[in-house]
Structures are given as structure tokens and as C-alpha cells.
Amino acid sequence: MTLLRERGTRRPDVVVPRGRGSIRGPEARAGWLFVAPAAVLLALFVLLPVLMALWVSLTSWNGQGSPFTGRAPFVGVDNYTKLFTEDGLARQDFFTSVRNNLYYVVLVVPLQTVLALCLALVANQRLLKGRTFFRAAFYFPSVTSSVAISVVFLFLFANSGTVNAVLGLFGIDGPLWFSDSRGLVHLVLDGVGLVNLDAPPAALADHGVFGLSWWDWISGPSVAMCTIITLVVWTTSGTFMLMFLAALQDVPVALEEASLIDGANRWQRFRAVTLPHLRPVLFLVLTLGLISTWQVFDQIYVMSQGDPAKTTLTPAYLSYRTAFRSFDYGSGAAISFVLFSIIVVLTAVQRWLLRERRG
């Protein structure tokens, strides 16, 4: 993009010399020389493995010997069609994981963004005493190992753990967090008496798409998944708070004062001055959030391994399990590439939604 723009601003009367022997020639060569180490490292450790994985996803390699000799049978796009068109366990598991992750993303991304923004606004108050303390405290979960935090949450949400003990003080009989596979939407529908959990409406239960019934699709995140959602929102909002904080401190004081003179109240100032300034950071936070939530793995691996009843299965974990537990490396790689395209598409959509609208 920058290249194009540069060229656009160049004066038309300057003839740009081309090819070898140009003034810019040695410069370009020097440029390549400077980026060569980074480019080689990227090619070797990112591009090459990606291409290798792409090849593996087109084979039915079982993990014996190298997949790059003739011995790994080439199966074309079979691994991909198994995920989408063949009625079987592979497709069912994959779409169960997509459903779980979808609910996870839909809850985690807005929650962590809003929470991070609120924390940043609080930590940015000039009048607040002990600002540094709060900043450090909010940021602390982000720099702690996710495995350690996951284990702490396992204790917190144990059936006789702290959370249920606190709920018990209010006379609430807390759920069995990690063994409760009931979906939130199902529970709500059941609670208001619309449906019966044990006998779901036939219209929903008997029809469906991609191997899951409509009833399964609308389940919402399971109670077990909610604990993981809580954990992730709590841990990552610190990181994003820091980004918002940096952006907030960049908002020109003069602008704020100008709006004050114009008679804007607190909310108007936030809405019309602060928020527009935060747009690039907002985009960054949402994109990073979207990518990391679709790739959630370590919390699942430590806390639930996809249980209960597959309601915390995610594509990343499923890919790992398919490859390293079932020796079906081809399918595992295929799942990861589908996951990759989901992320790319969603990021593009989000970019389009957040584009600057003029006029």
C-alpha cells in the first residue's frame, strides 16, 4: 500500500530510471540484504512449515516415517470433504467444536473489549489515587502463566470450591461447573417454560445442518464453557487495557478542553471525542481478540479436554487430538486450515464493518 501511495505522489516530470544500473539499484539490493535474515527466518520457520502442513492435509499420513516420500497416500481434498459433506463422526465433531467456539467468541470478544475499555478509563483518571497500583493489578493476570491460572480456576469452580461456597451464602445451590454440559440458551428457554430440556421440540431436534440438529446449534455455551469464558475475559482484559490506556493518553488535551468550552457533557465528550480517537486501537483489540479466541487451546487442554459432553471442544483442540491422539495427521491439519480460513474471513468482515465511513 505504501509503495503505491508513494508512487502516486511522485511528480510526473521526474523520469524514474528502471532496471540495472539505476541510481536506486544498489539501494534496492542493500534493502534486500538487510531484510534477508528476517526473510530467510520467516520462510524457514513460518512459510515452509505452513506449506508442509498444507501438503500433510492432502494426505492420509499416519505418522509413520516422513510424509514427503511417496509412502504417505495422497487423498486430495478428502480430509476437507470429510469435515463438510460426509455424514459421520468427523463432521459432527468438527461442527460441534465450531459451534462451541462460536459462542465462546461471541461472548469473550465483546466482554473483554468493554471490560478492558472500562478498566483503561478508570486507570486513566487523573484524580485516581494509586493509579500505578491499579494498572499493575489489572495487568497482573495477563503476565501470569495461563496454565497456572487455569489450575487456580479449577479449584475456584470445583463443586465444593470457593465460587459455590459464596453462592451458598446467598442460599444458591451452585451448579457442578465442570460436569454441566447444559447450554445456557437451553437453560433459559427451559427456565421460562418455552421448552422441556428432556424432551426438546421435535421441529428443532429432528432437523439440522452439518450433522447437528437445530436444537444443538442453539444450545448456547455450556455451563462448563462459561467458566472458561470467565477465565479468559479476566486474564486478557489486562493486556487490552494497556493498549487502550496508551491510546487514551494520546488523546489531545486541547481537544477535550475545546469540547468543554463547547459545553459537551461527560458522555458527549466520551462519545464524540475519545471514542473516535480510539478507533484504530479498537480495531487492533477486536482483531487480536478475534484471532486469539478462535485459537483457544491451552485453557481447554488444561481444564476440560473437550468434556463434558464435547461442549468445550474447540477446533484447535480437536485438531490436536485428531492428529496426535488418533494418528490422523491429515484430518488434523485440514481442521487447522479450515480454522485459519475462518479467522481470515472474520477478520476481513470485521475490517469492513469498522471501516471509516466518510460523509
Partner 1 sequence: MRNRLRRRAPLAVVAAAALFASAACGSGFDDNDKSGSAQRSGPASLQILFGSSGDAETKALQEAAAAWASATGNKATVTPAQDLAQQLGQAFAGDNPPDVFYVDAVRFADYASVGALEPYADKISNVDDFYPALRQAFTYQGKLYCVPKDFSTLALEINTDLWAKAGLTGADVPTTWDQLTAVAQKIKAKGITPLALGDTRDRIGAFMVQAGGWITNADGTQATADTPENLKALQYVQSLLKNGLARYPKQLDAGWSGEAFGKGKVAMTIEGNWIKGALQNDFPNIKYTVHELPAGPKGKGTLSFTTCWGIAAKSKQKEAAIDFVEAMTKGEQQLAFAKAFGVMPSRQSVSQQYLAQFPNDQAFVNGAQYAQGPVNAPKMDSVLADFDTGLQKLATSDPKAILQRLQKNTEAALGG
Residues near partner 1 (CB under 8 A) are 3, 18, 28, 32, 39-40, 43-44, 47-48, 51, 62-69, 71, 88-90, 93, 158-160, 176, 178-179, 181, 198, 307-310, 321-322, 324-329
- Phi first, then psi, for residue 75 (nearest 5°) are -120, 10
Shortest CB 106 distance to partner 1, Å: 23
Closest by Cα among 240, 199, 285 to 116: 240
Shortest CB 81 distance to partner 1, Å: 14
What b/e string do you get for 78-105 counting C-beta neighbours within 10 Å, with b at 16 or more?
A: bbbebbeeeeeebbebbbbbbbbbbbbb
43/46 Cα distance (integer angstroms): 6
Closest by Cα among 178, 288, 155, 273 to 228: 178
Q: Which helix (H) or strand (E) holds 209?
A: strand 208-209
Q: Judged by CB, which is closer to partner 1: 96, or 293?
A: 96
Q: Judged by CB, which is closer to partner 1: 37, or 263?
A: 37
302/157 Cα distance (integer angstroms): 14
Shortest CB 271 distance to partner 1, Å: 42
Q: Judged by CB, which is closer to partner 1: 99, or 321?
A: 321
Q: Judged by CB, which is closer to partner 1: 221, or 308?
A: 308
Shortest CB 326 distance to partner 1, Å: 5
Residues 206, 209, 210, CA angle at the centre, nearest 5°? 125
Coil, helix or strand for 331? helix
167/164 Cα distance (integer angstroms): 5
Q: Judged by CB, which is closer to partner 1: 265, or 326?
A: 326
219/221 Cα distance (integer angstroms): 7
Q: Judged by CB, which is closer to partner 1: 78, or 256?
A: 78
| Helix, strand and coil in the chain, % to nearest 5 | 65, 5, 30
- Are 285 and 243 within 8 A, CB to CB? yes
Closest by Cα among 277, 311, 309, 249 to 98: 311
Shortest CB 32 distance to partner 1, Å: 7
Longest Cα–Cα distance in the chain: 84
Q: Judged by CB, which is closer to partner 1: 284, or 309?
A: 309
Shortest CB 269 distance to partner 1, Å: 45
Shortest CB 130 distance to partner 1, Å: 39
Shortest CB 171 distance to partner 1, Å: 20
| Residue 269 exposed, middle or buried by CB count within 10 Å (0-12, 13-18, 19+) | middle
Q: Judged by CB, which is closer to partner 1: 63, or 276?
A: 63
Shortest CB 252 distance to partner 1, Å: 37
Q: Judged by CB, which is closer to partner 1: 48, or 291?
A: 48
Closest by Cα among 152, 123, 149, 126 to 136: 123
